[in-house]
Amino acid sequence: MQSQLPLYPESASNFAPDVDSLMLFLVAVCVFFAIAITIAIVYFFFRYKRKTDDEIGAPIHGDLRLEITWIVLPFFLLMAMFGWGAVIYVDFRHTPADTLDVYVIGKQWMWKLEHLQGKREINELHVPVGRTIKLLMTSQDVIHSFFIPGFRIKEDVLPGRYTTQWFTPTRIGTYELFCAQYCGTNHALMIGRVIVLDPTAFAEWLRRGEETVSVAQTGERLFRSFGCSGCHSPGASVRAPLLQSIFNSPVPLQDGRIVRSDERYIRDSILLPNTEIVAGYDPVMPSFQGRLSEEELFALITYIKSLGSSQQSSTNAIH
């Protein structure tokens, strides 16, 4: 890993070419007008310089053509910049369906990462080239920002909620990872690296080291040890919604709203169960706020996402 960030980082992800093209367009427009305006200022300075001390310039009442030009031209230029940027932004926000998921936790002052297979890393992220990676991120303390210059991606990592980021690495190599949000005394030391491997080398890396338990298996153990299966199972004595096929399904609430059961919903249902009560159920679930670490929450959510479709219900939820 290089000791300092180069002026123009290597382009190494699917987003990099589009971001670079937009950036070069913006710079080109700025440089063009800076040069044109400078030349015009110098030219007018000498062309219309007062020849004698008592010379008085001719009165000018404006030029409609000139006024239309400096209104219309900047408008279309700015709309082109906005439209181009909006297309890239929308692409950032639409994560593909087939992804390799990695959990990320930011804390003062390190990055903790975990693959679904159970492999954990600190300040390093190993990924295979050509595979779409999805990061599900949260913070353990303050606001951080996950920034990989070589991939042209940056996303804030916030306490108490999840943010996502995705990318497809296109080149094998090692790339800098930074926190781009001032997060305390040792913010400058919160650095790491992303190591892009070919698929075979990545599979070998996953197998190396101590045997690990998958995140979903860890979540299943927690699900049973905390007594969740005593309520959210077909034969439970307490009437609670079943969780099979819950993830990403619509959930009707008592207040008439319908929400999507994404990671945010499942997290809030575990920590703040009385904020979104499912229609037809009583608010009897206890809060697990302060009883679960971020890693354990990730594991529980992963297990719930992995549940099959043996029980189908349009009102599946967690309360």
Q: What's the CA gap between 269 and 18, in Å, rounded?
A: 38
Sheet of strand 144-148, all strands in order from the earlier edge strand to the far edge: 124-128, 191-197, 173-179, 144-148, 153-157
pLDDT of the residue at 2: 47
**pTM for the model:** 0.80
Domain boundary assignment for the chain: 1-48+95-212, 215-306
Is the bond preceding residue 84 a cis peptide, omega within 30 degrees?
no
- Give every CB contact of residue 148 below 8 A, 6+ residues apart in sequence: 13, 154, 167, 175, 176, 177, 178, 194
pLDDT of the residue at 309: 41
Q: Which residue positions in the chain have pLDDT lower than 70?
A: 1-7, 236-237, 308-319
What stretches of the chain adopt beta strand conformation (E)? 100-107, 110-115, 120-122, 124-128, 133-139, 144-148, 153-157, 163-167, 173-179, 191-197, 250-252, 258-260
What tokens were used for 48?
């219309």
- Give every CB contact of residue 317 below 8 A, 6+ residues apart in sequence: 241, 246, 251, 261, 269, 278, 281
pLDDT of the residue at 61: 80
CATH architecture of 215-306: Orthogonal Bundle (1.10)
pLDDT of the residue at 6: 63
- 48 contacts 60 by C-beta, under 8 angstroms: no
Superfamily of domain covering 1-48+95-212: Cupredoxins -  blue copper proteins (2.60.40.420)
pLDDT of the residue at 62: 79
Q: What's the CA gap between 309 and 244, in Å, rounded?
A: 5
What tokens were used for 138?
């949260």
What tokens were used for 2?
């290089």
Q: Which residue has the tokens 């809060």?
A: 287
